[in-house]
Each structure stands twice: as C-alpha cells, then as structure tokens.
C-alpha cells in the first residue's frame, strides 16, 4: 500500500521533550564502563516483562478500553507500575489511545504510518508539542480518581523511584543494565504497535484501517501483536482470538481472575471472532471512501463531459453550473452512473483490496455513490471555471 508522508502534524524542527528520551538511550552505553553482569541482565529481562504487562494489561486493556474490572487499590498499583516504564502518565496514555481508535489511520490519527511516516508514528509524535495535552474529556471515567490524577501529574516519579531502587540494590551495573536497558527495550517494544503493527502482518478482519496481526510483535509485547483482532473488537480482554495466538497478558489476567484480583473479563462473541457480523457505519464509510479513491475521478469526469457534449455545449454546462450547481450535481450524478465502473467491477476491486466481510456489498454500493458524487462535483467545478 502506498503511504502518504504528510509531515504537517510535526512542523516543529526541535522537540525539547525528546532530550530526556535521548539521554535514556545514551545511558545504555554506560554498560561499556559498568560491564554487563548476568544478574543485571536477568533483572532487565524481569523488569521488561513485568512492566510490559503493566502497559499491555494495565495502560491498554484496563485504562484505555476498560475490558475488565478490578479494585481501586490494584488499579493504582497497575498505574504506578505502568508509569515506572517512563511512558508518560496513565491518563495521558489512555486519552491518546482512545483518540487513536477514534481516528485510526486517518489524518487525525496522531501516529499513523500511512499519513505521517514510519519513524514519526513510531516515536516522533510523542514529542510533538501538539500532543502534550490530549482531550481529557474522553477519560472522565479515570479523571475522577484523585490518586490517578496525582500520578498523571508526577509523570516520571515512579520511573525515578524504580531507577533509584535499582542503583541502591546493585550499583551502576544494575541501574544501567537492569533499569535503562529494559526501559529502552520497553519503549520500542510498545512503539512497534503504533508503527510496525500498522505496516507488517496479516489482516483477518475488515477494520477500515491498516491494523495487522503480527506473531513476532505478539511475543515481544505479551499479546499486543494481534492488533487487527483488537481493532476488530476493542473491548475484548483477550486479543489472541484463536487458541494458537499467544497472549501472555491475557493468561496472567485469567489466573488473577481465579483469585478475584480482577473480574468480568470481556470476551468477543463467537460471531465477532468468525467475522460474521456486519461492520459499523463508520467503517463502511471509511472503506467505501478508500475504494472510491482507488479510481481516477478525472478520467470518469472526462467521459461525462464527452457524453454531455454530444447533446449540449460545454458553455451550456458551465452556465448551468453557475446557475444551479446543486441541481446540476444531482442531475450529473444520475447521468454519470452508466459511465462509472459497474458495481461488479467495484466488487472485484474491493475483493482485491480488502478482507471478506458481510458488509462488502454495502461498502461497494456506498463507494459507487461516492464515486458518482465525486465525478459530478469535478465536472461542476471545471464547468463553472469555464474549462
């Protein structure tokens, strides 16, 4: 798929917020002087897994999607542990993520590789000043907890506490290898879901975006790599829908549910898993617009103008366009239908571009309408301009 590298969202050349991020990366080089003790490596692995779980099961599946329930105490502990990964505050993270799902792979998505490029989607967006203050109105279910708001305000305190504890426990090697190595690995493991999981992998479901299932990412992120599944049914606690789709975060939550630490884990209905339910209106509109956009409007507009010229002059068309553009557009839409790709042709193109879905016929018919309207609008505009 061709990607449009529209860099308008990041018009600042220098992002001051990126400086601490770069320093954390540079700190990993301290291992040249501290050495790499086996104990510190094992601690790094443990901290990566534990904090990745806090991000995936906590930040993502609980705080962003509310896919299960837990106590207020455990909620706070997950938030604190998640923030020890230095990935901003829990409420900020949830607000940004909900915005992403609302606008996934559109120009309004803060981290879409399709529109903003891979590197920006991977990490550049985080430091753009425009993303400093997401809409907290979308996370009112979280903002009424004062302890979560306090955590969100002191963004990096949990990470500093953890780093300090590592230093006092094992000195510089434990700080550099145990803390900084695992933190950097955690950064990029998480970021790959925003970037790579929208570029590489398979798409089982029609979601109206580029989300993909990726086995490798599912392993390194404890289950988040089943990203197309997740975009298909966001409120499911389990993201690996098939038995062979490894989802470690879910397995841990399942065990916790046996001890009532968490409860009401939400599962996708079987019809959803089988892809038998029609997609929502929003997805139909997005996919239909993409399908219509696969055809060159100018070519079909030229055909309409040729057809019109057989019985009218272009001056007549221009005059009508100036006099009553709305009525003319309606007339042209009707007239251009025989000159457009047929519904079977659109269906064939849709089957090339998208996954099978019960909604494909609806999408094709809507794309036919959009294409007709776009051709009519093009003819109107060129006619009114006197071309």
Does residue 95 have a pLDDT over 80? yes
Does residue 339 have a pLDDT over 70? no
Angle at 225 between CA 192 and CA 153, to 5 degrees: 55
Does residue 233 have a pLDDT over 50? yes
The answer to whether residues 262 and 133 belong to one domain is yes
Does residue 329 have a pLDDT over 70? no
Q: Quick one: pLDDT at residue 317?
A: 59
The answer to whether residues 265 and 305 belong to one domain is no
Nearest residue to 123 via CA among 86, 82, 162: 86
Does residue 321 have a pLDDT over 60? no
Instruction: Name the helix (H) or strand (E) containing 69.
Output: strand 69-70
Distance set, CA 293 to CA 86, 107, 290, 329, 373 (Å): 41, 15, 5, 19, 12
Domain end call among 208, 240, 273: 273
Q: Quick one: pLDDT at residue 259?
A: 97
Q: Quick one: pLDDT at residue 2?
A: 42
> Percentages helix, strand, coil for the chain, rounded to the nearest 5?
65, 0, 30
Q: Quick one: pLDDT at residue 6?
A: 43
Q: Quick one: pLDDT at residue 15?
A: 61
Contact between 333 and 376 (Cβ < 8 Å): yes
Sequence-ordered list of residues with C-beta below 8 angstroms from that of 19, at least 6 positions apart, any chain: none
Task: Judge whether 165 lies within some domain.
Answer: yes
Backbone φ and ψ for 70, nearest 5 degrees, come out as: -155, 180
Nearest residue to 309 via CA among 341, 339, 350, 354: 339
Helix ranges (H only) for 157-261 are: 157-173, 182-194, 215-220, 227-232, 248-258
Q: Quick one: pLDDT at residue 386?
A: 55
Contact between 65 and 116 (Cβ < 8 Å): no
Task: Count the domains in the chain.
Answer: 2
The answer to whether residues 135 and 227 belong to one domain is yes
The answer to whether residues 339 and 298 belong to one domain is yes
The answer to whether residues 312 and 245 belong to one domain is no
Cβ-based neighbour number of residue 199 at 10 Å: 16
Instruction: Go through 119-153 and write b for each residue having 16 or more CB atoms within 10 A of its CB, e for each that does not.
Output: ebbbbbbbbbeebeebeeebbeebbebeebeebbe
Task: Judge whether 200 lies within some domain.
Answer: yes
Domain that holds residue 379: 281-384
Task: Judge whether 9 lies within some domain.
Answer: no
Q: Which residue has the higher pLDDT, 347 or 7?
A: 347
The answer to whether residues 65 and 188 belong to one domain is yes
Contact between 262 and 337 (Cβ < 8 Å): no
Task: Judge whether 33 lies within some domain.
Answer: yes
Task: Judge whether 12 lies within some domain.
Answer: no
The answer to whether residues 105 and 243 belong to one domain is yes
Can you tell me the distance from the alpha carbon of 122 to that of 110, in angstroms, rounded to the nearest whole number? 11
Q: Quick one: pLDDT at residue 1?
A: 42
Which range has highest mean pLDDT (19-23, 40-44, 113-117, 301-305)?
Answer: 40-44
Can you tell me the distance from the alpha carbon of 79 to that of 73, in angstroms, rounded to the nearest whole number? 10
Query: What's this model's pTM, rounded to 2 decimal places?
Result: 0.83
Cβ-based neighbour number of residue 297 at 10 Å: 17
Domain end call among 212, 238, 273: 273
HEC profile for 116-160?
HCHHHHHHHHHHCHHHCCCCHHHHHHHHCCHHHHHHHHCCCHHHH
Task: Judge whether 219 lies within some domain.
Answer: yes
The answer to whether residues 125 and 158 belong to one domain is yes
16-50 pLDDT, tens per residue? 778 889 999 999 999 999 999 999 999 999 999 99
Can you tell me the distance from the alpha carbon of 196 to that of 212, in angstroms, rounded to the nearest whole number? 9
Task: Judge whether 3 lies within some domain.
Answer: no
- In residues, how long is the chain? 387
239-294 pLDDT, tens per residue? 999 999 999 999 999 999 999 999 999 999 998 898 877 777 777 777 777 777 77
The answer to whether residues 148 and 287 belong to one domain is no
Structure tokens at 254: 């399942």
Q: Quick one: pLDDT at residue 184?
A: 97
**How confident is the model over 188-205, as a mean pLDDT?**
94
Q: C-alpha dihedral over 329, 332, 337, 341, to 10 degrees?
A: -80
**262 strand-pairing partners:** 70
Q: Quick one: pLDDT at residue 68?
A: 97
Q: Quick one: pLDDT at residue 19?
A: 83
Q: Quick one: pLDDT at residue 223?
A: 96
Q: Which residue has the higher pLDDT, 291 or 98?
A: 98
At residue 295 the predicted structure's pLDDT band, cuts being 50, 70 and 90, is: confident
Contact between 16 and 129 (Cβ < 8 Å): no
Q: Quick one: pLDDT at residue 4?
A: 45
Does residue 380 have a pLDDT over 70? no
Sequence-ordered list of residues with C-beta below 8 angstroms from that of 216, at least 6 positions apart, any chain: 225
The answer to whether residues 168 and 196 belong to one domain is yes
Q: How many angstroms separate the most distant Cα atoms in the chain?
A: 88
Task: Judge whether 367 lies within some domain.
Answer: yes
The answer to whether residues 373 and 291 belong to one domain is yes
DSSP state of 46: H
Domain end call among 273, 302, 336: 273
The answer to whether residues 147 and 293 belong to one domain is no
Q: Which residue has the higher pLDDT, 83 or 360?
A: 83
Can you tell me the distance from the alpha carbon of 204 to that of 58, in angstroms, rounded to the nearest whole number? 26
Does residue 322 have a pLDDT over 90? no
Percent of all residues in the chain with a pLDDT value above 70, rounded to a whole number: 83
């Amino acid at each position: 798929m061709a990607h449009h590298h529209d860099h308008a969202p990041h018009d600042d050349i220098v992002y001051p917020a990126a400086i601490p991020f770069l320093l954390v990366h540079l700190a990993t080089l301290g291992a040249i002087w501290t050495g790499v003790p086996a104990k510190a490596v094992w601690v790094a692995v443990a901290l990566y897994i534990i904090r990745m779980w806090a991000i995936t099961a906590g930040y993502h599946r609980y705080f962003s999607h509310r896919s299960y329930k837990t106590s207020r105490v455990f909620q706070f502990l997950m938030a604190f542990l998640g923030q020890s990964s230095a990935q901003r505050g829990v409420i900020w993270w949830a607000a940004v993520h909900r915005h992403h799902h609302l606008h996934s792979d559109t120009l309004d998505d803060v981290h879409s590789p399709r529109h903003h490029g891979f590197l920006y989607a991977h990490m550049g967006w985080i430091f753009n000043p425009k993303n400093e203050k997401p809409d907290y109105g979308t996370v009112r279910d979280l903002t009424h907890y004062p302890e979560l708001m306090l955590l969100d305000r002191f963004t990096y305190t949990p990470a500093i506490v953890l780093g300090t504890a590592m230093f006092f426990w094992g000195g510089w090697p434990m700080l550099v290898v145990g803390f900084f190595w695992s933190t950097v690995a955690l950064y990029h493991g998480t970021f790959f879901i925003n970037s790579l999981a929208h570029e590489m992998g398979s798409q089982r479901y029609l979601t109206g975006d580029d989300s993909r299932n990726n086995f490798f990412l599912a392993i390194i992120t404890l289950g988040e790599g089943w990203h197309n599944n997740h975009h298909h049914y966001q409120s499911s606690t389990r993201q690996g829908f098939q038995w062979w789709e490894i989802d470690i975060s879910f397995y841990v939550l399942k065990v916790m549910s046996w001890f009532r630490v968490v409860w009401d884990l939400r599962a996708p209905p079987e019809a959803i898993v089988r892809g038998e339910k029609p997609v929502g209106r929003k997805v139909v509109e997005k996919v239909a617009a993409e399908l219509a956009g696969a055809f060159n409007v100018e070519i079909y507009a030229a055909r309409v103008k040729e057809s019109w010229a057989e019985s009218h002059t272009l001056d007549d068309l221009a005059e009508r366009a100036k006099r009553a553009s709305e009525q003319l557009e309606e007339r042209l839409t009707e007239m251009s239908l025989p000159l457009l790709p047929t519904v079977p042709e659109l269906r064939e193109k849709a089957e090339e571009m998208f996954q099978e879905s019960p909604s494909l016929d609806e999408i094709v018919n809507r794309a036919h309408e959009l294409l007709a309207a776009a051709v009519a609008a093009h003819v109107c505009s060129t006619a009114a301009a006197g071309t």
